Amino acid sequence: MVRDEEVKSEARIARYRGSSVSSVGGGFGSSPRLPRGKHVGFLVEDSIIVTDVSSSRTLYGEGFFGTPIGVEKPRGADFEAPLKLSLIEALYLVERGVLEVRRLDGGSVGLDELRRIVESSDELKLLYTVYRDLRDRGFTVRSGLKYGSDFTVYRLGPGLEHAPYVLHVYRGVERLDPTEIVRAGRLSHSVRKTFILAFPSRDGRVMYLMFDWVRF
């Protein structure tokens, strides 16, 4: 469905057109990009640390999961560092059989327990619903904090392209303020990215609206 709406803001008119993200297809191969092998990470507060460098390289190099610790801008898998995974990244990998999570004392953190940890936070639960859906579509999903969004979304991955999309997850209690949408669109346009709103539902489905911007 396509929707046009005009919003007056700062004495200018911005028109946005929302359309389904399915119109841009999926990411590379349009299927999940999963690293090979089985790897181990350790639960440390609200993160999972992969200490084995070989595993770190595989997880990052074959799917862009996690962040190499102390490496500002990694280029591919050419680094010698442990890897820090967010809880939602780790849950996705555990669900796919790629990662095993343990406590520092060696005890196992199973799938059900890790899922409970994530779902104990309404915020993480919403973010994970969208993260999982995009990963399953073959996209690479990274933090969007730099752009004031929840995620940046790649077809290929960081270092291979500039992220074409910035994405905000609708929380359900937010008021969709047209002025704020215009501001977000202008910011994304200024960094040559397309702004997407994601609407996760309770049954795990996600609706996306991708905005095209026209200035008058």
Determine contact, residues 79/68, Cβ cutoff 8 Å: yes
In a domain, 158, yes or no: yes
Among the candidates 86, 121, 156, a domain finishes at 121
Query: Angle formed by the axes of helices 111-119 and 122-136, to 10°?
Result: 120
Query: Pick from 67, 88, 121: which residue ends a domain?
Result: 121
| Residue 2, token pair as written in the block | 């396509």
CATH number of the domain encompassing residue 109: 3.40.1170.20
Residues 201 and 154 in one domain: yes
One domain for residues 79 and 51? yes
Q: Is residue 154 annotated as a catalytic residue, yes or no?
A: yes
* CATH at 211: 3.40.1350.10
Q: Which domain holds residue 90?
A: 33-121
**Which pLDDT tens digits describe the chain residue by residue (216 residues)?**
334 444 344 334 445 555 555 444 565 556 788 999 999 999 999 999 999 999 999 999 999 999 999 998 887 888 999 999 999 999 999 999 999 999 999 999 999 999 999 999 999 999 999 999 999 999 999 999 888 899 999 998 998 888 899 999 988 766 666 656 666 666 665 566 888 989 998 888 999 988 776 655
Of 69, 93, 121, the residue that ends a domain is 121
Residue among 8, 38, 146, 162 flagged as catalytic: 162
Residues 160 and 185 in one domain: yes
Catalytic residue (choose from 147, 168, 193, 208): 193
* Catalytic entry in 154, 165, 168, 208: 154
Determine whether 8 is an active site residue.
Answer: no
Residues 81 and 99 in one domain: yes
Distances (CA, A) of 118 to 2, 21, 28, 101, 201: 34, 26, 27, 14, 17
Q: Is residue 127 part of a domain?
A: no
The reply to whether 162 belongs to the active site is yes
